[in-house]
Chains A and B, each alone.
Chain A
Amino acid sequence: DAGVTQSPTHLIKTRGQHVTLRCSPISGHKSVSWYQQVLGQGPQFIFQYYEKEERGRGNFPDRFSARQFPNYSSELNVNALLLGDSALYLCASSLFWGGPNTEAFFGQGTRLTVV
């Protein structure tokens, strides 16, 4: 079975540009979460979606947005890129939202470099 797949794996963008990162959850999983992992730090929660609705939002500026599609895949969009947005962006999928036994399975991430 395929795990969580993210695309692209690596990306280089220029300051001020816009970027779209994509995530396909494990088949049957209805919840997708996004995390930002800056080099040398732990992942930080950005968004969580369940059944196409936003269920949680971390402390990130409005330049960050996301959505979940009917097939449960998801996109993370970042506008007006800053150098500080350079990070590994991780997507995680889980069967449900909330409660026990909702283990998050992580993809390998998209490495975004802003120059």
Chain B
Amino acid sequence: AQSVTQLDSQVPVFEEAPVELRCNYSSSVSVYLFWYVQYPNQGLQLLLKYLSGSTLVESINGFEAEFNKSQTSFHLRKPSVHISDTAEYFCAVSEAGANNLFFGTGTRLTVIP
């Protein structure tokens, strides 16, 4: 079975500062990894995903995440955050070959002006 741990439930950061949201997973099989973002009163939006290949994946709005198999991590980073990045971020894992997702408990990112 898969599981996901997001160690930080809340991360406050000043505007234009860098941020890292941590995600660790456990699985006995090959996995796909995802980061989803949830704005207030909305559903989930896919931010980026790792399926295979390059371990560094990027989103269109400046976020990136690196798959580290030895540390079973998939941390999310952004070098300079904006007010609009304030949201809940969920790390998720699925078994390669299936697409039901296992989510972490989420990290609330609050960008302070």
Contacts and interface: CB of A to CB of B under 8 A. Distances in A.
Interface of A: 4, 31, 33, 35, 40-45, 48, 56, 58, 90, 92, 94, 97-109
Contacts of B101: 33, 35, 43, 45, 104
Contacts of B100: 33, 45, 48, 56, 58
B105 interface: yes
Interface of B: 4, 6, 32, 36, 41-46, 49, 51-52, 90, 92, 96-106
Contacts of B45: 106
A8 to B, nearest CB: 14
A33 B55 CA distance: 27
B55 to A, nearest CB: 16
A58 B106 CA distance: 19
Mostly helix, strand, loop or mixed at chain B's interface?
loop
Contacts, number: 64
Cβ-closest 5 pairs across A and B: A42-B103, A106-B43, A106-B44, A108-B43, A100-B51
A94 B51 CA distance: 16
Given A98-B97, A98-B99, A102-B99, A42 B105 contact: yes
Contact of B106 (A42, A102, A109): A42
A42 to B, nearest CB: 3
B24 to A, nearest CB: 14
B43 A45 contact: no
Given A100-B52, A101-B51, A43 B44 contact: yes
A112 B97 CA distance: 32
A4 B43 contact: yes
B46 A103 contact: yes
B41 to A, nearest CB: 8
B84 to A, nearest CB: 19
